[in-house]
Amino acid sequence: MGILGSIFTWWNGATLGTTLALRGKSRVGTDALGNVYWQGGRDTAGRPRRWVIYSGSNDASRVPPEWFSWLHHQIDDVPDRALPPHRIWQKEPIANPTGTALAYRPPGALEKGGTRVRATGDYEAWSPDA
């Protein structure tokens, strides 16, 4: 992304203003997706201010659960030190597939042919006179 893209587009990563605001803040870590996590200053409740700079599109579902916990002050230390190691049976988190080909399509959706199972006859329409 060029300099003009970083000035005017917020949906493809951090803007120039955000990058300048990171001066004096501490870089805490990165996740497997390349997102970078920062901490510095205090919020209105007196807690340390925390935020993420996305690697690629700004989509909150791309933040792994352990870093979500850190961002929302559910854990105090970075996830590598505060959480137990990853278990072998745990699945990797996936990004929100809404709007993609992987999104859930119920039976009868136009993308699945638009035909749904016929009603079984146990449905009775509501009538205001009943």
pLDDT-derived band at 5 (thresholds 50, 70, 90) equals: low
Mean pLDDT of all residues belonging to the chain: 83
Biggest CA–CA distance in the chain, Å, is 71
pLDDT-derived band at 88 (thresholds 50, 70, 90) equals: very high
Residue 110 three-state SS: helix
Question: CA 88, 90, 96, 100 torsion: positive or negative?
Answer: positive
pLDDT per position as a tens digit, 51-84: 888 887 788 888 988 999 999 999 999 998 898 8
pLDDT-derived band at 89 (thresholds 50, 70, 90) equals: very high
Contacts of 82 (CB under 8 A, 6+ apart): 70, 75, 76
Q: What is the pTM of this model?
A: 0.66
- Burial class of residue 52, CB neighbours in 10 A (0-12, 13-18, 19+): buried
Tell whether the model's pLDDT for residue 1 goes beyond 60: no
